Structure 1
Amino acid sequence: MTVLRAIRKYPVVAATVVVGLAVFALLGADLDTAAAWLASTYAVLIAAGAGVRMIRDIMHGHWGLDILAVVAILSTVAVGEYVASLIIVLMLSGGEALEDYAAGRARGELDALLSRAPQAAHRLPPNSQTPADIAADEVVPGDVLLVKPAELVPVDGVLLSPEGSFDESSLTGEPLPVTISEGQTVMSGSVNGSQAVLIRATAATADSQYQRIVALVREAAESKAPVVRLADRFAVPFTVFSLLLAGIAWWVSGEPVRFAEVLVLATPCPLLIAAPVAFMGGMSRAAKDGIIVKGGATLQQLAGARSIAFDKTGTLTYGKPELTAIQPASSFTAEDVLRLAASAEQYSSHVLAAAVQNAAQERGLQLSPATTASEVATNGVRAIVDGHTVLVGKRRFVEAEAPDTGDGAEAPAGAPGAGQLRVYVAVDGRFAGTLLLSDTPRRNAKATLERLARLGLEPPVMLTGDGPASAESTAAALGIQQVHAELLPEDKVRLVAAMPSRPVIMVGDGVNDAPVLAAADVGIAMGARGSTAAGESADAVIATDDISKVADAVIIGRRTMRIALGSIWLGISLSVGLMVAAAFGFIPAVAGALIQELVDLAAILNALRALGGGSASEKLQPGARALPQPRDSVTRPAQN
């Protein structure tokens, strides 16, 4: 069955093999003329088909490398080297099969993700302890699911059991199992440990983490890199050089066969195959490290990146702020300020809103529903709570309706420290107080910025919607000199567009980062906890909550680009050297055709090096010393 599938998929390869066997059988029977006619006729027919395609491409303004192959086939037939012509035909027709095989190896990690998508789930009906087996796509949010030992988690959910151990390596690249406590998030696609656990689904299959990654992987696998078209830019000069060298060899030697001997070594397979294989290998290597790169074009941009910008909350910081102080204004109590603010924040999706609500609940405050509520993107929330108009958000947003907001607003605790920020509250047009929250920088954020500097990127820029005091204190802790605070999404897009050193990378995680991630030369989304919108807009998604992967992505991009170009030049160099030798009559046509197969193999094997290379975090520029990379504990921190 495997042979039949191969024949159906590559009929020209199969036909060439059959014709070749028939030719050798005729030669063995001393029917040389019949063998020559059979081989020559078949080769000319194949050349004619390739020639028609070549002419169509030229008419559309595309000068490819097929002209060399067509001329090589016709010239070998013309001088009677029909065995060499069959080898060239086999090489051309087999190039597709060889590329498919190499690409299959290169995309192994991507295919592993696609093939492991969860298919089934065990749902516990209400008031029952007997699970019912259903298809994974039938799960709806709120379902209670049983996950048996060593099974894939079918959808995103929260753990109902006291504790569980999960292997998230296919999602994040983290080889050690992660310990998750009751109430924490469990990602679809992770593998349960040795004990059965219960989870409550928080998303359907299509909206779960694993399926979003699978969708990104499909997009990555189907993409093509601009560098692959670099081979076409070599087409005209390489073709002209090859034909000129072959013509000179014929003219100097006076032997037409010398023309054919040169051209059989000028076939273009290394140029056409090596680059796509290298980029597929680079994407597979990145996937193994928990970085989903959407295409070879992204790897090319990462390789040439010269500058980088970061969002703050959830990117450079953990994105899990906690309330540290309440600064009520006169005539308001701290309890009133927090209760009203938390009641209004029930209608916001911002990470700070969740922190304010959690703080109120921890203090046992009873939240009230709002009569009306609306969220002003990146600014704050306006709601009517218990008959009072409550505004919660940035200072300039609150100050627009409560002009006294500036009066002593910062006095009680002074300027925020590193990672701290203020949320302002107004009630019925009067400033009510300030909530001071703390969101600490990631432990490996500073080391990652230092790695990026050692890779030659310009000093990083912070682009954040947070207030200046909070942004500058976090930037100071991380050594960032350029800070732009209180930005709207359009402000981030404008600033990234104005950055002079291109390509520029933008790293973010929230919904408000989606426009700038799409606008940047390379948008990288922190996808483990970030929004779906950010992941869809970005060019690459980091599946694990680890900012050090940003530097890893740059390193993988550079290594892949170096291997792709190296493979192209390896093929060109070997072909040129062999053509020169053939021009002097040292390589017969048949031997040259066989040797060219080895050149193809060498270029492809070199391109497959993009699959390996060890941990990307270990790969720095020559002479650079690797910095220690702190990692978050494999025990996931508690989620508020």
Structure 2
Amino acid sequence: MLIAIVAAAAIGEWTTALVITAFVLAAEILEDLSMDRGRDALTDLMSFLPETVQVRNSGGTAILPLADVAEGDIIVVAPGGRIPVDGTVVVGESTPDQSRITGEPLPVDVTVGDEVFAGSINQVGAVEIRAERVGTDSSYGRIIAAVRHAQSTEPPVQRLADRLAAYLVYLAPIGAAITYLVTRDLTSTIAVVVVAGACGIAAGTPLAVLAAIARIARSGAFVKDGAHLEALSTVDTVIFDKTGTLTTGTPAVVDVRTADGADPDGLLVLAAAAESYSEHPLGQAIVTHARTQGLPVGPCGEFAYLPGRGVTAKVAGKAVAAGNRTLVTDAPEAVDGQGTATAVHVGIDGDYAGTILLADTIRESAQAAVAELHRRGLRTMMITGDQEATANAVAAELGIDDVWAGLLPDEKLAAIDAERAAGCRLAMVGDGVNDAPALARSQVGIAMGSGTDIARESSDVVLISSDLDDIVHTVRVARRARRIVMFNFAGTIAVDLVGMALAAFGMLSPVLAAFIHVGSETAFILNSARLIPGRARRQHR
């Protein structure tokens, strides 16, 4: 543009020089505004937490900077206040809006002992929270740290954009020189220089990357690097771990069957009382289910835990046993676990009384997420250490394409290597320590926010809410960003080549060439700006 302005002035085309200058300045202002909007979408996340907090101490309360809060401090949050730390409620009840973190669209009720997250809004009731994770260790802090890192990195597509922009800059004077040598027309030569440009690529690409990362972060996930965003846009296979990823990882009662048609609640009350001292996950699930149903879980006596078999206890004068067949029954009518369910048989005074079926429940969002991935042309797989029958039952219910079951961590890694050797571009979704090597080996590792620290650290994308719908949204945004960047690439090259040809043949005046240059640049910047998230949260919901 500087060359064009100087050349226009040199031949007395002052109006052309002024128009070019005005157009260029206007385009620069638009570019700055668009980039500022993209950065604002990120800094809006960072500025959400309060700068100061109210901390309870032996003398009452004190106002401290958030940066000075330490683990174990008691934070007082008033109604309408923003929760600044991850922690546990120690005083009070409230209904915080946690949608920025968990993705849950409705406020949730919390009371003493419940966990709350930084970045939530305390809507109703004052609460006191014991700080457990503060600063960059909190859920919201991890989002901020990841966004800052992603903002500072340059993905391969941006490096490609920079190289392509440089080539186009070189192309302009070369095209102008050829035009002058052939036509000896200074006006056409200047028009060739004016119409060519790479601003649509140079400005539109980083804006698209910034905006895409911000949009994903707004929806409850964060991408750690722009390169991972680009890799995610090209994956063709999504591999899931089972336990803790497709399922909740905790057993729950799914059915209660009695031997003589008696009231299932009566059987559940006795079994829950017998299991009340048990630390086994199945026993705890039975107790939790009974309490959730509003049933009384009374005391028991003579409790005994028999490893590998179950428990026995005295409940309301009855001898109750809860466990497997070796402890409780050889009755032919006893129902064993089927599919993903595990059976806990219950005996009363030596007689078989019924069976409680428990299963690791599938996440509510799993089936819809898998179906949506299929609709977008992605293949799905499950790799798990669980037994084949259970894995196949879950896969059949969710519609997953392929299953590798009974795998140790090194075998999961071998499965990833085999799929990559077959030419697949993989995104691996997991939550546990045993998933960490596979997450690191995949093109894109996606960790559940509820998973282990090592899984989150080994991954490229973290789902804060552990909502599998966020995988679909993240892939959708990554693909959309790539389409926008590629469109900008193709559009810029096409405008430059056609415009230079028309200018060389004298069909474009310098002023019209400037208008085409700035107009196309504006269009490509605005095309990237479409990714900038608005103020509403969870836009894909």
Q: How far apart, CA to CA, are the structure 2 residues paired with 1:497 and 1:410? A: 46
Q: Kindly provide the amino acid, as one letter, of the partner of residue 304 in structure 1.
A: T
Question: What corresponds to 2:469 in structure 1?
Answer: 548
Gaps of 5+ in 1: 1-68, 326-333, 346-350, 367-385, 393-406, 424-434, 620-628, 630-640
CA contact (8 A) 1:307 1:457 kept: yes
Query: Which residue of the other structure, out of 512, 520, 523, is the alignment partner of 2:442?
Result: 520
| Residue-by-residue CA offset, 1:46-75 (whole Å, 9 max, x unaligned) | xxxxxxxxxxxxxxxxxxxxxxx6875776
CA contact (8 A) 1:306 1:501 kept: no
Change over 3 Å in CA distance of 1:88–1:524 after alignment to 2 = farther
| Residue-by-residue CA offset, 1:333-373 (whole Å, 9 max, x unaligned) | x99x989984xx8xxxxx999979989x989799xxxxxxx
SS class of match (2:118) = coil
SS class of match (1:179) = coil
CA contact (8 A) 1:159 1:200 kept: yes
1:102 counterpart = 2:16? no
| Residue-by-residue CA offset, 1:217-246 (whole Å, 9 max, x unaligned) | 212222222111232453576467655643
Change over 3 Å in CA distance of 1:248–1:313 after alignment to 2 = same
| Deviation of 1:110 (Å) | 1.9
1:449 counterpart = 2:370? yes
1:310 counterpart = 2:240? yes
| Deviation of 1:164 (Å) | 1.6
Q: How far apart, CA to CA, are the structure 1 residues paired with 2:337 and 2:275? A: 19
| Residue-by-residue CA offset, 1:24-66 (whole Å, 9 max, x unaligned) | xxxxxxxxxxxxxxxxxxxxxxxxxxxxxxxxxxxxxxxxxxx
CA contact (8 A) 1:507 1:525 kept: yes
Q: How far apart, CA to CA, are the structure 1 residues paired with 2:494 and 2:386? A: 54
| Deviation of 1:179 (Å) | 2.7
Number of aligned positions between the proteins: 490
SS class of match (1:439) = strand
Question: Which one is further off, 235-244 or 477-486?
Answer: 235-244
Question: What corresponds to 2:152 in structure 1?
Answer: 222
1:260 counterpart = 2:166? no
| Deviation of 1:586 (Å) | 3.4
CA contact (8 A) 1:291 1:543 kept: yes
Query: Which residue of the other structure, out of 27, 43, 50, is the alignment partner of 1:111?
Result: 43
SS class of match (2:382) = strand
1:497 counterpart = 2:429? no
Query: Which residue of the other structure, out of 382, 395, 402, is the alignment partner of 1:482?
Result: 402
Query: Which residue of the other structure, out of 207, 213, 217, is the alignment partner of 1:277?
Result: 207
Q: How far apart, CA to CA, are the structure 2 residues paired with 1:97 and 1:573? A: 24
1:123 counterpart = 2:55? yes
| Deviation of 1:168 (Å) | 1.9
Change over 3 Å in CA distance of 1:594–1:146 after alignment to 2 = same
Question: What corresponds to 1:566 in structure 2?
Answer: 487
Q: How far apart, CA to CA, are the structure 1 residues paired with 2:405 and 2:107? A: 38
Question: What corresponds to 1:634 in structure 2?
Answer: none
Aligned pairs for 1:404-483 within 5 A: 416-420=337-341, 438-458=359-379, 460-483=380-403
Change over 3 Å in CA distance of 1:391–1:515 after alignment to 2 = farther
| Deviation of 1:415 (Å) | 6.4
1:297 counterpart = 2:218? no
| Deviation of 1:210 (Å) | 1.4
Q: How far apart, CA to CA, are the structure 2 residues paired with 1:294 and 1:353? A: 40
What is the root-mean-square deviation of aligned Cα atoms in Å?
Answer: 4.5
CA contact (8 A) 1:282 1:557 kept: yes
Q: Kindly provide the amino acid, as one letter, of the partner of residue 571 in structure 1.
A: T
Question: What corresponds to 1:604 in structure 2?
Answer: 525
SS class of match (1:189) = coil
1:164 counterpart = 2:84? no
Q: Which has the higher strand share?
A: 2
Q: How far apart, CA to CA, are the structure 2 residues paired with 1:295 and 1:365? A: 55
CA contact (8 A) 1:309 1:463 kept: yes
Change over 3 Å in CA distance of 1:198–1:298 after alignment to 2 = same
Question: Which one is further off, 85-94 or 492-501?
Answer: 85-94
CA contact (8 A) 2:275 2:283 kept: no
Q: How far apart, CA to CA, are the structure 2 residues paired with 1:580 and 1:225? A: 33
| Deviation of 1:557 (Å) | 1.2
Question: What corresponds to 1:576 in structure 2?
Answer: 497
1:321 counterpart = 2:241? no
1:538 counterpart = 2:538? no
Change over 3 Å in CA distance of 1:457–1:481 after alignment to 2 = closer
| Residue-by-residue CA offset, 1:118-171 (whole Å, 9 max, x unaligned) | 433333336x7x333333344444443321111111211223356421122332
Identity percentage of aligned residues: 35
Change over 3 Å in CA distance of 1:489–1:591 after alignment to 2 = same
Change over 3 Å in CA distance of 1:422–1:471 after alignment to 2 = farther
Higher RCO (Cα < 8 Å, 6 or more apart): 2
Change over 3 Å in CA distance of 1:144–1:436 after alignment to 2 = farther
Q: How far apart, CA to CA, are the structure 1 residues paired with 2:47 and 2:534? A: 24
Question: Which one is further off, 542-551 or 483-492?
Answer: 483-492
SS class of match (1:579) = helix
Question: Which one is further off, 602-611 or 170-179?
Answer: 170-179
CA contact (8 A) 1:261 1:589 kept: yes
| Residue-by-residue CA offset, 1:82-130 (whole Å, 9 max, x unaligned) | 886788789889988765432221233321111123433333336x7x3
Question: What corresponds to 1:508 in structure 2?
Answer: 430
Q: Kindly provide the amino acid, as one letter, of the partner of residue 88 in structure 2.
A: V
CA contact (8 A) 1:418 1:476 kept: no
CA contact (8 A) 2:71 2:132 kept: yes
| Deviation of 1:457 (Å) | 0.5
Change over 3 Å in CA distance of 1:496–1:80 after alignment to 2 = farther
Q: How far apart, CA to CA, are the structure 2 residues paired with 1:444 and 1:259? A: 60
TM-score (norm 2): 0.76
Q: Kindly provide the amino acid, as one letter, of the partner of residue 560 in structure 1.
A: A
CA contact (8 A) 1:556 1:616 kept: no
SS class of match (1:610) = coil
SS class of match (1:487) = coil
| Deviation of 1:421 (Å) | 6.1
Q: How far apart, CA to CA, are the structure 1 residues paired with 2:423 and 2:375? A: 17
SS class of match (1:440) = strand
Question: What corresponds to 2:320 in structure 1?
Answer: none
CA contact (8 A) 1:113 1:170 kept: no
